[in-house]
Amino acid sequence: MVNTTTGSSAKPKYPVSMNGVKRLGVTGKEYRDWEAISQSDLKSFHANPQLWHETTIQKLWTRTGPTNPQLFGIHAERCLREGLGAVVVAPAEVLASNGARRGNKWDEWSKANEHKIICTPKDADRARSFERVFINVAEHEKANPLVFAPTAEWSTRWLWHRDELPLKGELDIVHQEDGIIVDVKTSAAPDYRHFQTSIEDFGYDVQAACYLSAMEQRHGRGFHFFWVVIRNTRPYDVEVYAMSPNYRMRGIEKYEKYLREFVEARDADYWRSPTHNLAREIEPPRWAKAVHDE
């Protein structure tokens, strides 16, 4: 049990339903291909309905791949989930004297380790960064049980419905018996003020509200939500934040608003922004007025 005093087209292989919320035993790719709406879809739709529709439904545009900071986050989470054995450093015998990959020897070795995070000796800092992430989380009094407790279920995938709209969610960590959801984030600035900005910029409150609604619907009781935030540069230090009641209310309001907007667009089959076809008068921002008046 987690001991904490803060915080308030694919087919399912093993569908387990409770109160209309199904747990899906599918791979990550099968989950991504599943024809349902994720919290990421809702946020992308809200930001630009036309771009979301043309990318996701019409397939006019190719999705951009993950950035280097995003890749670091993916790999850091994997190390926390699987342990440091997920990272391997290439031995000298598969590399040339200049550190380049060495023909057949490299091919054979890399194929044998294709499901791991591969680093070369030149990437020593990269390999060490994942080790520091693991150690820093393990040594954090609040983060450790949230991430490593036996009750922590990693990468669970869920399906539920709202207004005949199929919704899906992939939770980093859920402690179902303890009523706790944990989202692991990596950030260039995990301190309090900057993470507040990240919540606003990236809609982490909407993501939390989406996951809370699914788990609370499934279990018929309240859940707490925590963010474990890891700096993505040295020294890879860790902060833990519990979602406050105020942030929870704000996230729920935004989540419900995004759902309504999406259902309205779906029912009308209209995928333009609310300001499409309008000509609006634009004023200088308040900060520009203040600078001018000085």
* Least confident segment among 96-105, 126-135, 198-207: 96-105
Q: Supply angle C-alpha 173, 175, 176, rounded to 5.
A: 120
d(CA 9, CA 4): 40
- As annotated, the residues of the chain forming the CATH 3.90.320.10 domain(s) are 11-65+141-274
173 closest CA partner among 131, 129, 223? 223
pLDDT in tens, 159-202: 999 888 999 999 999 999 999 999 999 999 999 999 999 999 99
Distance of CA 217 to the CA centre of its chain: 21
Q: Residue 98 pLDDT > 90, yes or no?
A: no
Q: Residue 287 pLDDT > 80, yes or no?
A: yes
Model confidence at 5, in pLDDT bands (50, 70, 90)? very low
In this structure, which amino acid lies at residue 45?
F
In this structure, which amino acid lies at residue 49?
P
Q: Residue 256 pLDDT > 90, yes or no?
A: yes
CATH architecture of 11-65+141-274: Alpha-Beta Complex (3.90)
